[in-house]
Amino acid sequence: MSVRILALVGSLRAGSHNRQLAEAAVKLAPEGVDVQMYEGLAEIPFYNEDVDVEGTVPAAAVRLREAAASADAVLLFTPEYNGTIPAVLKNAIDWLSRPYGAAALGGKPAAVVGTAFGQYGGVWAQDEARKALGIAGAKVLEDVKLSIPSSVTRFAETHPSDDAEVVAQLTEVVASVHGQAGGQAA
């Protein structure tokens, strides 16, 4: 039985270091683990309860909810924008927190990792994302953390999948999420 981990990347930039980190996670996933990067966060409109009504939910939001519902766990890759979580990632969490009582994130193991330009690697954004995920109903894996500082210089000429330290740490993250999701897989 394969465990499916949905990867949500909080940067829309094609060359994003967090996107590269997610790509590395896809490559590093051990046998029996399928890390799937979600494409399409940019197409999801800002959450609006007026359109979150059966029959009128935007197709992009429906696709996101279906992807999360079919996953065994969620792994967020977030940069830090002005000391907090990017709007696109917060918006995804908002859509995944509903409908109330039947949220796609409900009880799913979720972890947050990332890289940022600053000296702390985006820990404020990661903390905010964990908080939002927990309130949205996910089972936040508080001990699964990876904050990589100085992304602009560290990954200027090196992809995260070619950085031995990052590979070791990210492999451990994916294994931890897999371990928590293994009991969730149906």
Single-letter residue type at 119: Q
Question: What is the C-alpha to C-alpha distance for residues 58 and 76, in angstroms, rounded to an integer?
Answer: 22
Residue 184's pLDDT band, with cuts at 50, 70 and 90, is low
Q: What is the mean pLDDT of the chain?
A: 94
Q: Is the peptide bond before 149 cis (omega within 30 degrees of 0)?
A: no
Instruction: Give mean pLDDT, residues 50-78.
Output: 96
How remote is the C-alpha of 169 from its chain's centroid? Answer: 16
Q: What is the pLDDT of residues 131-172, one digit of tens each?
A: 999 999 999 999 999 999 989 999 999 999 999 999 999 999
Single-letter residue type at 101: G
Q: What is the pLDDT of residues 64-74, one digit of tens each?
A: 999 999 999 99
pTM: 0.94
Q: Is the pLDDT of residue 1 over 80?
A: no
Q: What is the 3-state secondary structure (H, E, C) of the chain?
A: CCEEEEEEECCCCCCCHHHHHHHHHHHHCCCCEEEEECCCHHHCCCCCCCCCCCCCCCHHHHHHHHHHHHCCEEEEECCCECCECCHHHHHHHHHHCCCCCCCCCCCCEEEEEEECCCCCCCHHHHHHHHHHHHHCCCEECCCCCCEECCHHHHCCCCCHHHCHHHHHHHHHHHHHHHHHHHCCCC
Residue 186's pLDDT band, with cuts at 50, 70 and 90, is very low
* Residues contacting residue 64 through CB under 8 Å, at least 6 positions apart: 38, 40, 41, 44, 92, 95, 96, 104
Q: Is the pLDDT of residue 30 over 90?
A: yes
* Residues contacting residue 134 through CB under 8 Å, at least 6 positions apart: 140
| Domain coordinates in residue numbering, the chain | 3-182
Q: Is the pLDDT of residue 39 over 90?
A: yes
3-182 — its CATH code?
A: 3.40.50.360
Tell me if 86 sits within 8 A of 77, measured CB to CB: no
